[in-house]
Structure 1
Amino acid sequence: MAYDLKKEEEVKEFITKLGIEYRFGCYSEKKADVCHLLGDYLEAVKKDESKARKVYQTNCEDRDFGRSCHKSGTYAFRAADPNGALTFFEKACGLGVAESCLNAGLIHVNSKAKETVREKGLDLLKKGCDGNNHHSCFYLSGIHLHEKNMPEARQFSERACSLGNMYACANLSQMYRKGDGGEKSEEKADLYKARALELQDEVKKQQGVTFQEGIKPV
């Protein structure tokens, strides 16, 4: 059946059927990806974060679904439970969720949980960077900048910039202009400055969030 999503009654029917399909796929067919969608549905559409959290946690613990582990970590962190968040984020990182590597790494580096190890935090951030998470690369560049390790700072800035981090591009421009961490090049400095401004313009042009974007994994 095709729905006219401009009509309120048909929108309500569509949303109701969507929930039924997700529940069947999760509870009857035991599909991990559908269980995660059910969590998204409960969170974004039904506004029931308590039920959504339970679905995510069960899907993480019973089915090892990385995105659900990441969501569980996010809920735990919001509930002021950094140790619980760290457990979920580290599991999600091991399952290939780069954003979780970032979060776990920052918890370790910033010592927000007990028995944190800085080197482990750096390793987790490196995994996030290797997984194309530009924030992880940028934080690593910042750490190396603070420690005056300019070659490493430049390396991670280049990686972050290539992944679309405008701040890394701006920092990289300054590094090339001053010759920090390697060659000095006005040409490359101007090139990375232009890239930073281009990314800044792209951010300004982004407007709103679509319905689909609101319920997909974050």
Structure 2
Amino acid sequence: MKKSLVAALAVFSLVNAEQISIGGTSFERVDALKAYEVGCASNDADACFEAGWIHYQRQNLNKAIELYTRACNANNYKACTNLGALYFSGEGVKVDIKKAKELFSKACELGDGDGCNNTAFLYEQKKDIKTALKLYKKACDLGHQIACGAYKELSK
């Protein structure tokens, strides 16, 4: 229901701005953002993630972090992975590898190959090869091809 509300709002609010594609339909980016923010206000974690992504692309990092945090807290794995990447790189926040690892781990637990791969990388850097291998394998099983290569290479 929430996702259809977001899509319906996007359909009815076209104005001139950048184009964005949602579900194969082209919408104006500004109105898509408004629709996602309405969905997010209705506790739709996917809408929060999408609004966060648009804010991130516009370099409105504080808003992106706020929305990613909200979406991650509601178990949106993409938001957890993206937020983890911001903490890892220090983009918009102070570098916090422990926080990044927590967020990547949560994304992995939610079934995200990127989250598993990123967590594995952090374990590999700490020389915990056994845990890294386990996580690379999980990421590979989730279809993450880079993790498959890392698993193969680390297994030698």
TM-score band, normalised by shorter chain: 0.7 to 0.9
Q: What is the CA deviation profile of residues 22-59 of structure 1, one whole-angstrom value per residue up to 9, with x for unaligned ones?
A: xxxxxxxxx52222223564643353111110111122
- TM-score for the superposition, normalised by structure 1: 0.62
CA root-mean-square deviation:
1.8
For 1:54-73, what aligned pairs fall within 5 Å after superposition?
54-61=34-41, 63-73=42-52
More strand by share: 2
Give the number of equivalent residue pairs.
Answer: 146
Partner-residue secondary structure (3-state), 2:155: helix
From 134, 137, 161, the equivalent of 2:113 is 134
- Where does structure 1 differ by over 6 angstroms across 4 or more consecutive aligned residues? none
Q: Following the alignment from structure 1 to structure 2, what is the Cα–Cα distance between the partners of residues 114 and 170?
A: 31
Counterpart of 2:5 in structure 1: which amino acid?
C
Counterpart of 1:106 in structure 2: which amino acid?
A
Relative to structure 1, is the Cα distance of residues 40 and 121 closer, same or farther in structure 2, using a 3 angstrom cutoff? farther
% same residue: 18
Relative to structure 1, is the Cα distance of residues 101 and 39 closer, same or farther in structure 2, using a 3 angstrom cutoff? farther
Q: What is the CA deviation profile of residues 123-181 of structure 1, one whole-angstrom value per residue up to 9, with x for unaligned ones?
A: 1111100011101111111222233221221121111011111221122122222xxxx
Q: What is the CA deviation profile of residues 165-203 of structure 1, one whole-angstrom value per residue up to 9, with x for unaligned ones?
A: 1221122122222xxxxxxxxxxxxxxxxxxxxxxxxxx
- TM-score for the superposition, normalised by structure 2: 0.84
Is 1:32 matched up with 2:2?
yes
Is 1:96 matched up with 2:66?
no
In structure 2, runs of 5+ residues without a counterpart are 15-19
For 1:1-218, what aligned pairs fall within 5 Å after superposition?
31-38=1-8, 41=11, 43-44=20-21, 45-61=25-41, 63-177=42-156
Q: Following the alignment from structure 1 to structure 2, what is the Cα–Cα distance between the partners of residues 129 and 46?
A: 31
Query: Offset at 1:115?
Result: 4.0
Q: Following the alignment from structure 1 to structure 2, what is the Cα–Cα distance between the partners of residues 38 and 110?
A: 36
Relative to structure 1, is the Cα distance of residues 84 and 34 closer, same or farther in structure 2, using a 3 angstrom cutoff? same
Q: Following the alignment from structure 2 to structure 1, what is the Cα–Cα distance between the partners of residues 132 and 123?
A: 5
In structure 1, runs of 5+ residues without a counterpart are 1-30, 178-218
